[in-house]
C-alpha cells in the first residue's frame, strides 16, 4: 500500500489499540522513507463514523465520568486512564485529518502523520504506567467529546484545524501543569515524568493546528483572528474555561490578542 489516505483509514479502523499503534508507527516510518504519499486517485473519504475502538472503556457523558482524588493508586490510575483515552482519540484525530481532507500540501499530511506517531508513543507510555498502577486501558469509563467535535467538523477543514488542536487539545496545555503539581504533592514522580513528555510534545501538535488553520484562512481569504472566534461561537457556543497556559499557547502559535480575548470571555 502506497496511498497515505488508505493507510490512514486502516489506522483509523483498527479496533485493538496495540494494532492501531503498530500500524501508526509503520505508517510514519513509511512516510519518512518516502514510501507513502497522498494519492490524488484515492477514493473520496467515506462519511465520518466512529473509529475502531475496543469494547471498553464504556463511553459516557463527560458529566458522568467520576472525579477521584490522587491520594490512592486507584485515583492516580483513573487520571492516567483519562489522559490515555485522550491520546488514543488524538491518534484517530490525526489520522482522520490525513484521511478526510484532500488536496492539501504534502507538509500538511506529514505534520499529521507525525502527530499520530507521537500520540501513539504517548498512549504506550500511559498504558505502561497504568499497568504499574494495576490497571489497563478500558478499566474506567471515558467520554467521547473529542471525537464528537471531529464529527461536527468533518466537512470543514478550517473548523477542524481551529477547534480540535487549538481548543480541545490545547486544553491539555492548560491543565497538565496543574495535574503535575497535584501529583508532585503525593510523590508520584513516575506519572509526572510521562506527563512532562506529553506536555512538551503537545505544544508542537497545537502549533500544527495553528499553522494549518492559518493556511486555510489564507486560502479562503479570511481573517484568522475573526474566523477563530466565529468558529468558536458557531460550533461550541460557549466561552472556554480558564485559566490558560499563556507561555505554552504562545509557543504553539497563539497571539497575544487571541489570548487576551479568550481570557476576557473565559469562565472560571
Distance (Å, whole) CA 225 – CA 259:
11
**Bigger pLDDT: 63 vs 70:** 70
Q: Which residue has the cell 492501531?
A: 20
What is the 3-class SS of the chain, one letter each residue? CCEHHHHHHHHHHCCCHHHHHHHHHHHHHHHHCCCCECCCCCCCCCCCCCCCCCCCCCECCHHHCCCCCCCCHHHHHHHHHHHHHHHHHHHHHHHHHHHHCCCCCHHHHHHHHHHHHHHHHHHHHHHHHHHHCCCCCCCCCECCHHHHHHHHCCCCHHHHHHHHHHHHHHHHHHHHHHHHHHHHHCCCHHHHHHHHHHHHHHHHHHHHHHHHHHHHHHHHCCCHHHHHHHHHHHHCCCCCECCCCHHHHHHCCCCHHHHHHHHHHCEC
- What's the pLDDT band for 69 if we cut at 50, 70, 90? confident
State the average pLDDT over residues 67-72.
Answer: 82
- pLDDT (tens digit per residue) in 223-234: 999 999 999 999
Give the pLDDT confidence of 111-150 residue by residue, as tens digits: 999 999 999 999 999 999 999 999 999 999 999 888 999 9
Quote the pLDDT of residue 195.
97
Angle at 162 between CA 116 and CA 48, to 5 degrees: 60
pLDDT of residue 71: 85
Q: Nearest-CA neighbor of 83 among 149, 142, 22, 15?
A: 142
Residue 63: pLDDT over 80: no
Name the percent of the chain lying above pLDDT 70. 99
Q: Which residues of 110-124 are buried (b: 16+ CB within 10 A; e: fewer)?
A: bbbbbbbbbbbbbbb
Confidence class for position 107, pLDDT limits 50, 70, 90: very high
What is the predicted pLDDT for the residue at 265?
87
The CATH architecture assigned to 4-38+67-265 reads Up-down Bundle (1.20)
Alpha-carbon span 127 to 78, nearest angstrom: 12
**Which range among 11-20, 61-70, 108-117, 186-195 shows the weakest confidence by mean pLDDT?**
61-70
pLDDT number for residue 267: 72
Mean pLDDT (the chain, rounded): 95
Q: Is the per-residue pLDDT at 235 higher than 80?
A: yes
The per-residue pLDDT for 137 is 97
Residue 222: predicted pLDDT: 98
- Prediction pTM value: 0.95
CA separation (Å) from 30 to 26, 88, 110? 6, 21, 11
pLDDT at 119: 98
Rounded (5°) CA angle 191-193-194: 65
Query: 1 pLDDT exceeds 70?
Result: no
Q: Is the pLDDT of residue 56 over 70?
A: yes
Cell 459516557 sits at which residue?
60
- Residues 165-224: tens digit of each pLDDT: 999 999 999 999 999 999 999 999 999 999 999 999 999 999 999 999 999 999 999 999
Predicted pLDDT of residue 268: 60
Give the pLDDT mean for 95-114.
97
Q: What's the rounded Cα separation, in Å, for the pair 25 and 20?
A: 9
- Residue 168 C-alpha cell reads as 480541545
Amino acid at each position: 500500500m502506497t496511498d497515505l489516505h488508505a493507510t490512514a483509514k486502516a489506522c483509523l479502523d483498527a479496533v485493538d489499540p496495540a494494532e492501531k499503534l503498530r500500524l501508526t508507527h509503520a505508517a510514519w516510518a513509511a512516510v519518512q522513507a518516502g514510501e507513502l504519499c497522498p494519492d490524488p486517485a484515492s477514493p473520496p473519504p467515506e462519511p465520518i463514523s466512529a473509529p475502531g475502538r475496543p469494547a471498553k472503556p464504556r463511553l459516557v457523558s463527560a458529566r458522568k465520568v467520576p472525579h477521584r482524588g490522587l491520594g490512592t493508586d486507584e485515583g492516580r490510575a483513573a487520571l492516567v486512564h483519562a489522559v490515555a483515552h485522550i491520546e488514543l482519540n488524538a491518534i484517530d484525530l490525526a489520522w482522520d485529518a490525513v484521511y478526510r481532507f484532500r488536496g492539501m500540501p504534502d507538509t500538511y499530511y506529514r505534520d499529521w502523520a507525525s502527530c499520530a506517531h507521537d500520540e501513539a508513543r504517548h498512549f504506550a507510555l500511559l498504558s505502561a504506567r497504568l499497568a504499574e498502577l494495576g490497571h489497563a486501558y478500558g478499566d474506567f469509563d471515558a467520554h467521547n467529546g473529542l471525537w464528537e467535535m471531529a464529527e461536527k467538523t468533518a466537512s470543514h477543514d478550517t473548523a477542524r484545524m481551529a477547534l480540535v488542536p487549538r481548543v480541545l487539545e490545547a486544553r491539555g496545555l492548560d491543565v497538565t501543569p496543574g495535574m503535575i503539581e497535584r501529583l508532585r504533592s503525593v510523590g508520584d514522580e513516575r506519572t509526572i515524568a510521562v506527563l512532562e513528555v506529553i506536555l512538551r510534545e503537545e505544544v508542537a501538535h497545537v502549533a500544527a493546528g495553528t499553522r494549518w488553520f492559518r493556511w486555510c484562512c489564507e486560502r479562503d481569504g479570511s481573517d484568522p483572528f475573526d474566523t477563530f472566534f466565529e468558529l468558536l461561537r458557531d460550533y461550541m457556543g460557549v466561552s472556554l474555561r480558564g485559566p490558560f497556559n499563556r507561555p505554552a499557547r504562545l509557543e504553539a502559535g497563539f497571539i497575544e490578542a487571541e489570548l487576551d480575548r479568550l481570557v476576557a470571555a473565559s469562565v472560571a
